[in-house]
Amino acid sequence: MSDQYDLSKLRTRVKRQIEKAVPDAKIDYCLTCGLCASGCPASGIEDMDPRKFLRYLVLGQNDIILKTNWIYSCSLCQRCKYACPMGIDVGRIVYEVKGMRPKEERPTNLQRSCDLQKAGNSTGIPDADFVWVVGDILEEVHELEPEWADLQAPMDKIDAQFYLNQNAKEPTVEPEEMVPLWKILHTVGIDWTYSSKWWDGANYCLFPGDPEDWEYTVRKQAETVNELGCTTYINTE
C-alpha cells in the first residue's frame, strides 16, 4: 500500500528555513524530471534520491526530511546541480538539513572530526607533534638520501611567497608521504612554508552542517596565512 499524505495545510517550515539560509535554493522550481536522480550515485540509498528529497520538501513532509540518514550519503558533490535544468543544488539543501539535526543526534565521528578541527586539526594531534614529525622525517631524508641533503621543510617562515597546508592524515599515520611534495617544491625552487598552527588542509567542519564552525576554521586558517604574509596559499589537493 502506498504511503498516505493528508495535505490539509502545506507545512513548509523546513523548506522556508532552508530558503532563508539559501535564497537561491529554488526548491519549488523542481520539474521532477529525474535528471538528478539518474546522475546521482547515492540514488536508492535509504530509499531516497535527490528528486524524492526535493519532493518531500515541496509536499511539506518535514518528518521524513529531518529523519532520513540519506543526508549522510549525499556527499554534497553537486553533480546533480551541474546538469539540473533548474540549477538546483541539492547538496546545498542537504547541508542545511544536516545542520538542522541536533548535534547529539548526528553521527558521532562526523561531529567529532569537526570538533577536533576546531581545536586545531582533524586528527587531534598536538601542533608540537606535527612540527616534530616534519623535522624528524626531514632529518631521516638528509641521512638516507644524500642527493637530497639540502631538502627543506620550512616552518613559520615569515614572508615566504607560498604557504603550504598539510592534510593531517600524513603526519599522523603516514609521515613519509609528505616527502615527495617537499622534493618537488625544492626542485622547482619556490620559497614556501608550513605553519605550526591551523596547518591542517582538511576542513571537516564543512560536513556536519553548522556554518559557524566552518567559518571559524577557515577564518583561523586565513588569519594564520595573513600573519605569515604569504601571497599564495597552496592547497595540496
Partner 1 sequence: MYATLEGLRRFNIPHNFEVVSIITLYAQWIRDGRLKVDPTWNTEGLKFSVQDPCKLVRQSLGDPVADDLRFVIKSVVGEENFIDVWPNKSNNYCCGGGGGALQAGFVANRRQHGKTKFDQLNATGADVVITPCHNCHTQVMDICEHFGGKWQTTHLWGWIVKALKR
Partner 2 sequence: MPKGSVLVVGGGIAGVQAALDLANSGFLVHLVEKTTAIGGKMSQLDKTFPTNDCSACILSPKLVECGRHFNINLLTLSDLISLEGEPGSFTAVVRQRPRYIDPDKCIACGLCAEKCPKKVDDEYNLGISKRKAAYLSFPQAVPLKYAIDPDHCIWIKKPGKCGACVKVCPADAINFDDTEKEHILEVGSVVLALGFSPYDPSSLDFTGYGRLPNVITTMEFERYLSPSGPCMGHMERPSDGREPSRVAWLQCVGSRDINRSCHPYCSSVCCMFAIKQAVIAKEHAHGDFSPSIFFMDMRTHGKGFEDYYNRARKEGVNFHRARVHSVLPGEEEDSLRLRYVNEQGETCFEEFDMVILSTGLEANKQTVELAKMLELKLDEDNFVKTDVFHPVSTSRPGIFVCGAAAEPKDIPQSVMEASAAAMEAGRMLAPARWQETVVKKYPLERDVHAEVPRIGVFVCHCGINISSVVDVDSVMEYAKTLPDVVFAQTNLFTCSQDTIDQMVNTIKEQGLNRVVVASCSPRTHEPLFQETLRDAGLNKFLFEMANIRDQDSWVHRDEPEAATVKAKDLVHMAVARVRGKGALPYNTVKVKKSALVIGGGMGGMTAALSFAEQDFPVTLVEQTDRLGGNANKLYRTWQADEVQPYLAETIKKINDNPRIDVRMNCQVEDVGGSVGHFTTQLSDGFSLTHGVAVMAVGGEAYKPEGKWNYLYSKNPNVHTLLEVDQMLIDGQADFKQTAQAVFIHCVGSRIPERPWCSRVCCTHAIDSAIKLKELNPEMDIFMLYRDIRTYGQRERIYQEARAKGIVFIRYDLDHLPGATEKNGKIIIQTHDPIVDGDITLHPDLLILATAIQPRQDSGNLSKFFKCAIDAHGFLLEAHMKLRPVDFATDGVYLAGLCHYPKPLEETIAQAKAAAARATIVLSQDEVPAESITAMVNEAKCTGCGVCVTVCAYSAVSMDEDNNVAEVNTDLCKGCGACVAGCRSDAMTLMNVGNEQLMAAVEAAFE
| Contacts to partner 1 by CB under 8 A | 41-42, 44-46, 69, 72-79, 82-83, 91, 107-110, 112-113, 147, 163, 167, 169, 177, 180-181, 183-184, 187-189, 202-208, 211, 214-215, 217-219, 221-222, 225-226, 229-237
Q: What's the closest the beta carbon of residue 41 comes to partner 1, in angstroms?
A: 4
CB 36 within 8 A of CB 80: yes
47-56: string of b/e by CB count within 10 Å (b at 16+)? ebbbbbbbeb
φ, ψ for residue 130, nearest 5 deg: -60, -50
110 binds, among partner 1, partner 2, none (CB under 5 to 8 A by kind): partner 1
**Residue 52 interacting entry, from partner 2, partner 1, none, C-beta within 5 to 8 Å by type:** partner 2
Contact partner, 76, from partner 1, partner 2, none, Cβ < 5-8 Å per class: partner 1
The string of DSSP letters for 152-174 reads ---BS-TT-SEEE-B-THHHHH-
Give the contact letters, 47-86, x = binds to partner 2 (CB under 8 A), - = no: x-x-xx--xx-xx-x-----------------xxxxxxxx
The sign of the torsion formed by the CA atoms of 83, 87, 92, 97 equals negative
Query: 81 or 98, CB closer to partner 2?
Result: 81
CA-CA-CA-CA torsion for 114, 70, 30, 19, nearest 10 degrees? -40
User: What are 210's three cell numbers?
Assistant: 553548522
The entry of partner 1, partner 2, none near residue 119 (CB within 5 to 8 angstroms by kind) is none
Under a CB-based contact definition with an 8 Å cutoff, are residues 163 and 198 in contact? Answer: no
d(CA 141, CA 149): 7
Query: Which residues contact partner 2 by CB under 8 A?
Result: 2-10, 12, 26, 28-40, 43-44, 47, 49, 51-52, 55-56, 58-59, 61, 79-87
